[in-house]
Amino acid sequence: MKGDIKAVFFDAGYTLLCMDPDQVTIFLDACARLGIAIDRDKVAAGVARANALLAPRAPGNVPVPFSQESVDRFWTQYNHLLLSVCARNAADAKHAGLVYRTFTAAITWRIYDEVRPVLSALHARDICLGIISNWTGDLEEVLHKIGLHGEFDFVLDSARLGYEKPHAEIFNEAVRRSKIPHHAALHVGDSPEHDVEGALACGLRAVLLDRQDRYPDFARAPRVTSLHALMSHV
Per-residue pLDDT, 62: 82
- Of the candidates 49, 27, 48, the one whose C-alpha atom is nearest the C-alpha of residue 38 is 27
Q: Give 53-94 as a DSSP string.
A: GGS--PPPSSPPPP-HHHHHHHHHHHHHHHHHHHBSSGGGGG
Domain ranges of the chain: 7-18+109-233, 21-106
3-state secondary structure of 16: coil
Q: Contact at 8 Å (CB) between 78 and 71?
A: no
* C-beta atoms surrounding 214 within 10 Å: 10
Alpha-carbon gap, residue 108 to 100, rounded angstroms: 15
Alpha helices by DSSP H, 2-67: 23-33, 43-51
- State the average pLDDT for the chain: 96
Q: Which residues pair with 79 in a beta bridge?
A: none
- Whole-angstrom distance, CA of residue 31 vs CA of residue 21: 15
Torsion 78-79-84-86 (CA) sign: positive
Chain segment 59-101, per-residue pLDDT in tens? 777 888 999 999 999 999 999 999 999 999 999 999 999 999 9
Number of other residues whose CB lies within 10 A of the CB of residue 198: 26
Query: How many residues are given for the chain?
Result: 234
Secondary structure class of 45 (helix, strand, coil):
helix
Which residues of the chain are under the pLDDT cut of 70? 1-2
Helix, strand or coil, per DSSP, at residue 233? helix
Position 1 scores a pLDDT of 56
Helices 96-106, 23-33: inter-axial angle, 10-degree rounding = 120
Q: How far is CA 70 from CA 64, 74, 75, 76, 196, in A?
A: 10, 6, 9, 10, 27
* Distances from the Cα of 168 to the Cα of 47, 102, 162, angstroms: 28, 34, 12
**In the chain, count of helices (H) and strands (E)?**
9, 8
CATH number of 7-18+109-233: 3.40.50.1000
